[in-house]
Each structure stands twice: as C-alpha cells, then as structure tokens.
Amino acid sequence: MSKWHSLLEFMQFPLKILFLATVLLGVGSAIINPNVAFLWSVTNQNIIRASEMFRYIGAFLINIFPVLVYLKVLSKKFEDSVPVIVGVIAYLLINISMTFFLDTTFPSYFYKEVLGISINFDVLPISGSGIVDPYNMGIFSLVISYFITMKCYQHSRHHSVYGIFSFIDHDAWAVITILILSVVSGVALAFIWPYIIQGLNLFFDLIAKDITNPINLMLYGMFERISAILGLVDIPRNIFWFTSSGGTWMNEVGLNFFGDVAIWTAQKAQGVQATTTGGFITPYYVINLFIIPAFYIAYYSLCTSRKDRGRYWLFFLLAILISVFCGNPLPAEFLILLLSPMLYGFYIVIVGLLYAFLHIFNVIIGYNFSDALLFANPGAGLDLIQYFRSAYVLPSLMKMLIIGLGAAILFVFLTRAYFSKYAFGLFQFVDKEKTTNEIINALGGIDNIIDAQSTPDKLTVELKNRELIDYAVLQSYGAYLILEAKGGYLIRLGNMSTIIRNEILHRSKSVAELNQRKKLRVRKRNKAEEA
C-alpha cells in the first residue's frame, strides 16, 4: 500500500510539468481557436506565432510526460545519476532494435516516433522501404526499460572486481548488461507486440460493428480514458475520429468523410445538421466542465486546515478554469489514480456510463477539428460558445448541462465518501480498527495529540510530547514521508489520512466527554460530603 502511495511523491514534479503543459496547450489553442472567431479574431502574426509555440510546447511536454516520470522514478529510486543515464540508454535501445524487426503492415497510428528514433530503410542495404517508426507502445516500453535498468544496475553493484573481467567497473558492467538485455527485449517485442495489436483490432472491430449501441460506446469511453493514462490514446482517437470505424458520410456532391470528428467538422462547415455523429466527443464536455471541477472541489473541501486551504485555493481555482475553458482531464486523472485506484475505477465507470446515457438521451455535441491530433483538446468550454447560437445543437446543450450537473454532484459525493469512510484497503483488506489504534498509539496515544488536520493524502498532527512518536510503526502502516515542522508533524499516509483524522477527533471528543463526566461526578461527591 505504501509503495503505491509513494508514487504520488515521485510524480509530484512531473505532474506539475503536465499541468503547466495543459495550460500552455489550452491557452495557445484558445487564442487562435477558430470556433470562437465570432468573439475575437487574431490577425497579428507575432501573437499567432506565440500561440502556436505555446501549443507545440504544451503538446510536446504532454507527449513526453511518461518519459519524465520514468526519469524521475529512476532518480528517486537510486539517488544516483548512473541509473538515469543507463535507463535512457535502455529505452532507446529497445526502440531502436525493435524498429529493425517490426511488422510494417499495420496502419500508421500503431507506430510512433520516439525521441527522434526513425529508421530510413531506403538508405540501408537490407530489405524494407521508407521511414519506419517504432511501435506505439505507450508506457509499456518504459516499464520494460525500468525493470531492465533496475535489475542490471543492482546486479552490477555485485560485479566481482577479480577474474578475467576485472578491468570492467560496476558502471560499465551495468551498461553492458543493459545493452544486451535491451536489444534482446526490443527484438522480442517486435514479434510479440503484433499480437497485442491484433487483440486491440478485434476489440475495436467489436465496437465499430454498431457504434449506435450504448454498450459499445460505454466500452469505447472506458478504454479511451484508460489508454490516455497508458500513453496509447492516439490509437482509439485515430480509429474512431478519422476512419470508417467511427462512421461514414457522403455529402451532396459525392465526397466521402470518415470518422466521428471528421464527419462533424465537414457537416458543420457545410451547414448540415448532425444527427449521427458527436457521440464519441459529447462526454468530454461533461468530463471537463463538470466531473473534473467536481473532483477539485471535493478535494479542496476535504482540506481541514485553514493553512492548507489558504495555500491551495488559487491552484484549484486555476485548475477548474483551465479544465472548463481549455479542456484536458489528464492531470486530474493521474492525480485521482495516484490518490486512489479505486476512486479512479469509479471515475472510469462513470465516464463509460456517460457515453451510454448521452447517446440514449440523444445528446450530440461534436468537435469541430481539422488540426494535427497532437493538438487535440476536445470538450473545452470555449468550443461550446458557438453552439449557443445553433438551434439544432441547443437542445443537446441544455440536456448536457443537466446531466453534467448530476454527474458533478455524484462525483463530489463519491470522492468525499471514499476519503471519509471507505479508503482503507487499497489492494488488500485492512483491519480499520487495528490500523487506527496502531497509528494513534504510534503518535503517543490519544492524550498526546493536541490537534489533527488532514487532506486526502496527508495527516498533520500537533503533539504534546514529540519523543513519543514511533516512526517505524507509522512507516509499517503506510506512512511514506514524515516531516517534522514547527507546528507538528506532516505525515503522508495516503488516502487513509482523512479517516485517521476523523477517528482522532472522535476519540479525543470521547475522552474529553469522559473527563468532563468524571469532573462532574467528583464535584457532586464533594458537594455531597460537604452537605
């Protein structure tokens, strides 16, 4: 449990970069958004150039976010620069060796350039043609690289300085073993990953057989948001936004358009009322305008300390505004997942149900998009402004706002209830009573606690006698970070923090009431003796 919770500590800095990236992408897109040209029209070339630069930087940082997490985890795990360097080497070697042996017959969205790695087979004396990118594996190649790096680096520390290879030091031995395993892994993945692709294609074909089926849309919605966390979101978006799997439409002059987003964009440009497209986009508006702000509001409401509220309120306000007007749920989704996989599971189910229910109630609000997929930011509030003037979209807009409000209320309730009552047992059953008793005892007992405050991931306590705290017990029950400050101790307990704080207050109140009753009994006895 503590290992999972500690991931939040590892990922705090990359998450800040991700949030900044979404701000840059959102602001850059908002300035030159063609959907709000009737509100403002930017013609200054310097402003347009700056906006495009912001968009590119933001999209680039979002694209390499998994790599940043990978580097941060390596540096935190070993507290040494060598594993970071050899970890990068492992990642690059896996992708390079994979590219020489992969199957090039799949559609282009199953491939993706990795840190500039592309092989031009036209200039090589081997079979093959054209420029080939590695498979689009999302975070999976990084996970494999991490385990190779971790095992090889740890093994290299035990490399003998005696014998025939005594001239090779520990770091060089790590590089050699990582090189061998990375190349072998890359070649193996070149033959294994096509089976993964075939499995994905079977799943996508199942959905594409009937994209008007609410169950199919639900499956798509759940997979699409999970794939965003896994770094594979470009695959389902390409398939259902821009290919026949997402629908087909022929205009009056005989031109064919393929995919949900492509059809919506073409129909809007030609003034045609959309009746069959938009189902793959509509839930994004509910997610960005309602569910993500609801999570931020619920999180903030669980911050009991006035100091924490004063510290966080501006961040949460900016986060809500960015989600509403610019639209990108990824930072909040990562935060939800790291705080609680169970709550993230609830979120994914709610998203899937949104895809189903919005279709059932015939709520259709698409995405007018003709840019590179790298810059896609569906579901931004700014995109909705244009539809308030559309007679045929306005009814869907009103129904979406009602459903969104209901979804927001539901998610606030789920978030607060989870952290307040049900956060024990992340991946295993935990004895709540025993855990609470042990943590309180490790703090010196209930009589030693002056005050307790919490957020959904940390507990802050003020103690009478600081020497009574037992660090080993706290760590054994999930505390992955304990900091001593002037006002007390900041203890990162993960998602059980709110429950522990509530129990401390409950027991303190019970003890205070018991002491008060004892004092009353003593007073009554004294009065009786005096009489």
- Residue range 463-485, pLDDT digits in tens: 888 888 888 888 887 788 888 87
Percent of the chain with pLDDT over 70: 90
Task: Give 245's pLDDT tier (boundaries 50, 70, 90).
Answer: very high
Residue 261 has pLDDT above 60, yes or no: yes
Task: Lowest mean pLDDT of 100-104, 233-237, 357-361, 435-439, name the range.
Answer: 435-439
What is the distance between the alpha carbons of residues 485 and 34, in angstroms, rounded to a whole number? 51
- 15 with 334: CB under 8 angstroms? yes
pLDDT bin (cut points 50, 70, 90) of residue 404 is: very high
User: If you average pLDDT over residues 106-117, what whole number do you get?
Assistant: 88
Three-state DSSP string of 420-466: HHHCCCCCCCCCHHHHHHHHHHHCCCHHHEEEEEEECCEEEEEECCH
Q: What residues have CB less than 8 Å from 167, skipping those under 6 apart?
A: none
Helices (H), 101-169: 140-156
- What the block records as the tokens of 480 is 């992955």
364 SS3 class? coil
> What size, in residues, is the chain?
531
Compute the half-sphere exposure of residue 335: CA atoms within 13 Å on the CB side of its CA. 20
Residue 153: pLDDT band by 50, 70, 90 thresholds? confident
Q: Give the model's pLDDT for residue 165.
A: 52
User: What residues contact residue 57 under an 8 Å CB cut-off, 6+ apart?
Assistant: 21, 24
- Write the burial class of residue 171 (CB in 10 Å: 0-12 exposed, 13-18 middle, 19+ buried): middle
Q: Is the pLDDT of residue 509 over 60?
A: yes
pLDDT number for residue 346: 93
Per-residue confidence band for 271, with pLDDT thresholds at 50, 70 and 90: confident
Report the pLDDT value the prediction gives residue 428, as an integer from 0 to 100.
Answer: 47
- Is the distance from CB of 291 to CB of 411 less than 8 angstroms? yes
Q: Do residues 433 and 471 make contact, with C-beta atoms less than 8 angstroms apart?
A: no
- What pLDDT was estimated at residue 82? 82
Mean pLDDT, residues 78-90: 85
Taking residues 191-209, what's their average pLDDT?
95
Residues 6+ apart with CB under 8 A from 438: 473, 477
Return the minimum-mean-pLDDT range out of 88-97, 332-341, 422-431: 422-431
Share of the chain above pLDDT 90, in %: 39
Angstrom CA distances, 478 to 199, 368, 473, 503, stand at 38, 47, 9, 17
Region 16-43 average pLDDT: 84
Residue 371, Cβ density class (10 Å: 0-12 exposed, 13-18 middle, ≥19 buried): exposed
| pLDDT in the model for residue 284 | 94
* DSSP-derived pairing of the beta strands 458-463 and 488-492: antiparallel
| pTM, two decimal places | 0.89
- Give the pLDDT mean for 205-228: 94
Instruction: Return the axis-axis angle of helices 497-530 and 432-442, rounded to nearest 10°.
Output: 70
Q: Which of 144-148, 168-172, 220-224, 344-348 has the lowest mean pLDDT?
A: 168-172
pLDDT value for 162: 55
Q: Higher model confidence: residue 297 or residue 264?
A: 297
- State the Cα–Cα distance between residues 489 and 483, nearest whole angstrom: 6
Per residue in 225-235, pLDDT (tens digit) is: 999 999 999 99
Q: How far apart are CA 531 and CA 526, in angstroms?
A: 9
Residue 157 identity? R
Would you give the end-to-end CA distance of the chain in angstroms?
61
Give the long-range contacts of residues 56-60, CB within 8 A, separation 24 or more: 56/28, 57/21, 57/24, 58/21, 58/22, 58/23, 58/24, 58/25, 58/26, 58/28, 59/21, 59/25, 59/374, 59/375, 60/21
SS3 135: strand
Q: What is the pLDDT of residue 121?
A: 75
Between 189 and 382, where is the model more confident?
A: 189
pLDDT of amino acid 74: 87
Say which CATH superfamily domain 432-530 falls into.
Answer: Glucose permease domain IIB (3.30.1360.60)
Split at pLDDT 50, 70, 90, the class of 158 is: low
Q: Which two tokens stand for residue 258?
A: 């393929």
Of 153-157, 182-186, 262-266, 325-329, give the lowest mean pLDDT range: 153-157
Which of 114-128, 131-145, 319-333 bottoms out in mean pLDDT, i.e. has the lowest?
114-128
Q: For 458, list phi and psi in degrees, rounded to 5.
A: -145, 155
> Helix (H, G, I), strand (E, B), or coil: what is residue 329?
coil
Taking residues 385-410, report their average pLDDT. 88
More reliable by pLDDT, 426 or 11: 11
pLDDT of residue 273: 76
User: What pLDDT, in 10s, does the model give residues 45-66?
Assistant: 998 899 999 999 999 999 999 9
| CB count in 10 Å sphere of residue 227 | 17
Residue 208: pLDDT band with limits 50, 70, 90: very high
The pLDDT of residue 512 is above 80: no
pLDDT > 60? residue 210: yes
| Three-state secondary structure readout of 391-417 | CCCHHHHHHHHHHHHHHHHHHHHHHHH
CA–CA separation, 156 and 387 (whole Å): 61
CA distance 322 to 270: 31
Residue 90 burial class via C-beta count within 10 angstroms: exposed 0-12, middle 13-18, buried 19 and up = buried
pLDDT at 118: 80
Q: Say if residue 21's pLDDT is above 50.
A: yes
Q: 256-258 and 449-455 as β-strands: parallel, antiparallel, unpaired?
A: unpaired
User: CB under 8 Å to 161, separation ≥6 — which residues?
Assistant: 169
Per-residue pLDDT, averaged over 1-24, amounts to 81
Confidence bin at 296 (pLDDT 50/70/90): very high
Place of tokens 């080497």: 89
